[in-house]
Amino acid sequence: MRVLAQRVSEASVRVDGDIVGQIGEGLLLLVCAMQGDDAAAVDKMAARVAKLRIFRDGDGRMNRALTETGGSALVVSQFTLAADLRSGNRPGFSQAAPPERGEALYLRFAESLRAQGIAVETGRFGADMKVSLLNDGPVTIWMDSADRA
C-alpha cells in the first residue's frame, strides 16, 4: 500500500460539485492499494499513519501523532500513486490493485483508522474528485508498505 500523507489545516473533496468529505486540522491521505496487498498490510499501514509524529508539540517540534491531537483524516483513493515511469514518459499503473480489490482495501484502511479512534472522512472511490487543501507546513510524507518488513 502506498500513502501520501499531508498535514493540513483543512481539506475537502468534491464530486460533481458536492462536498463528499471534509476535515479541519489533520491529515489528507492519498491512498493506493498495490498488487499483493492484503488486510494485514492495510492494517499495519493504518497503524503507522495513526502513530506518525508530524504534528507540533508545545515546543513547536514535530513530535505528536494524529491520535494525540484529536485531528481528523480525509482518505482519498489515488491509484496514480502506483505510476511506473521506467519505460518512458507515459506512466503505467499495472502495479495498482484491480479496482474491486483496491476499493475493498481502501475502505478497510479508512475503517482501520476509525478503529484507532480517528475521525475519518472519505472521497468516493473511482470518481472524478476535486481535492482542496490548505497544507500546513508544508509537511508531506511518502509511505510505502513495501519499504518496511
80 belongs to the catalytic site: yes
79 belongs to the catalytic site: yes
Q: Which of 80, 93, 122, 140 is catalytic?
A: 80
69 belongs to the catalytic site: no
Provide the phi-psi class of 117: left if phi over 0, else alpha when psi is between -120 and 50, else beta.
left
Is-contact 23 70, C-beta < 8 A? no
Q: Which of 79, 93, 95, 140 is catalytic?
A: 79
Q: Which of 6, 55, 78, 122 is catalytic?
A: 78
Q: For the chain, state the CA radius of gyration.
A: 15
d(CA 75, CA 73): 6
User: In 1-149, at which residue ranges do the beta strands (DSSP E only) sit?
Assistant: 2-15, 18-23, 26-32, 55-56, 62-64, 72-77, 119-122, 129-144
Catalytic residues: 78-80
